[in-house]
Amino acid sequence: MIPYGRQDISAEDIDAVTEVLRSDWLTQGQAGPRFEQAMAAYCGSRSAIAVANATAALHIACLALDLGPGDMLWTTPNTFVASANCALYCGASVDFVDIDPRTYNMSVAALAEKLEVGASRGRLPKIVVPVHFAGQSCEMREIRALADRYGFRIIEDASHAVGGEYLGRKVGSCDYSDTAIFSFHPVKIITTGEGGMALTNEPKLAERLGYLRTHGIIRPAQRLEEPQGTSRIGEQRVNEERDGPWMYEQIELGLNYRMTDIQSALGTSQLARLDPFVARRRELAARYDSLLAKLPLTCPWQHPDTNSAWHLYVIRLHRNEIRLSRRQVFDALRAAGIGVNVHYIPVHTQPYYRNLGFQTGMFPEAESYYEDAITLPLFSRMTDDEQDTVVAALRKILT
């Protein structure tokens, strides 16, 4: 079986993890800060906060931006459920913005229209979460302009897009957002096993993200709340106690979302090969474009402002030109040893979200896309021969 995605682990990666396993620190040592600093430097952002997974990063990003009951978050229906669930974790509500029929990202036109209606009804989002589907950035400059006009905050769900570029800058620079979220799941561009990260250029936001991932706890070296009601007589004793090396203070209700040093060491090692990983994915995507050009399907379209990281390569079948359903094509490919997948079932059609009042037909572009879509195998160690096998199997089925 040729899988749709696969991690790329080298001897150097194994050595990096082994070094941590032989050290005194398996978590909360220096490997975590090294990974954060290296990723922030790569992306051109001021800060990076590593966490257990991208869902955790989305959750604490919402908390750090004060999303709560009575607030609303908007995202795209063409994403994994975590992009929406993060709002519900905070007691807020969710709505969706339909997708662009070319990029499959959040449609700027649909967002602008929905914001205009929301403003007239006094019901605007506190946060918008554009999702960089398959590794291609959303049109962040235009979304930022709408944020400035309507007053919402922006969390880039860039889980697919580490190594991607927008307007000549790395995704994760946060030039047009409050924070950007990465995923390091094994099928993503680089991996830490499980893992995620939030990047930002706002120092106060970075500080809050940092302690929200660690139970809401800070140490004396960090910012501490001043003791309340301290008498002058007891002030020196209190300060001495506060300065003790054992001292910590919980200043907010946080969570245990830390990334281990084992994961961080793997991430730092993988980051050293991120550019070659992305370059190979781009080669394979271009090769797919050429090899599939004459088949009854649509290849992914790329916006000229973007340079995708190519986490996924998704085709859309021309079902009116073939005699098979999407399910029949999918099953035939699987039977031929091609590990295709489908990304994504529109979030608003999931049973949980139906129970919240969402219905089929609300976001027609996302629903139409889903009916046609198949994700073909794409990973950095994929060989030309493996790709030829995928194309030959698809050609045989469709023609």
Residue in the structure block whose two tokens are 């506190």: 126
How far apart CA 197 and CA 182 sit, in angstroms, is: 5
How far apart CA 168 and CA 176 sit, in angstroms, is: 13
Tokens coding 120 = 């007239």
Residue in the structure block whose two tokens are 């489908």: 342
Is the N-terminal amide bond of 344 cis, ω within 30° of 0? yes
Residue in the structure block whose two tokens are 């961080």: 264
CA nearest neighbour of 329 among 346, 345, 317, 347: 317
How far apart CA 12 and CA 16 sit, in angstroms, is: 6
Q: How many CA atoms lie within 13 A of 394 on its CB side?
A: 26
Q: Contact, 75 vs 97, CB < 8 A?
A: yes
Strands 249-250 and 217-218: antiparallel
How far apart CA 266 and CA 268 sit, in angstroms, is: 6
How far apart CA 102 and CA 119 sit, in angstroms, is: 27
Residue in the structure block whose two tokens are 């995202």: 75
Helices (H), the chain: 11-21, 31-43, 54-64, 82-89, 108-121, 140-150, 203-212, 232-242, 261-271, 274-291, 326-335, 351-354, 364-372, 384-398
Q: Contact, 130 vs 156, CB < 8 A?
A: yes
Q: Contact, 251 vs 216, CB < 8 A?
A: yes
Please tell me which residue in 114, 170, 188, 204 is annotated as part of the active site: 188
Q: Is 188 one of the catalytic residues?
A: yes
β-sheet bridge partners, residue 373: 316
How far apart CA 47 and CA 202 sit, in angstroms, is: 8
Which residues belong to the active site? 188
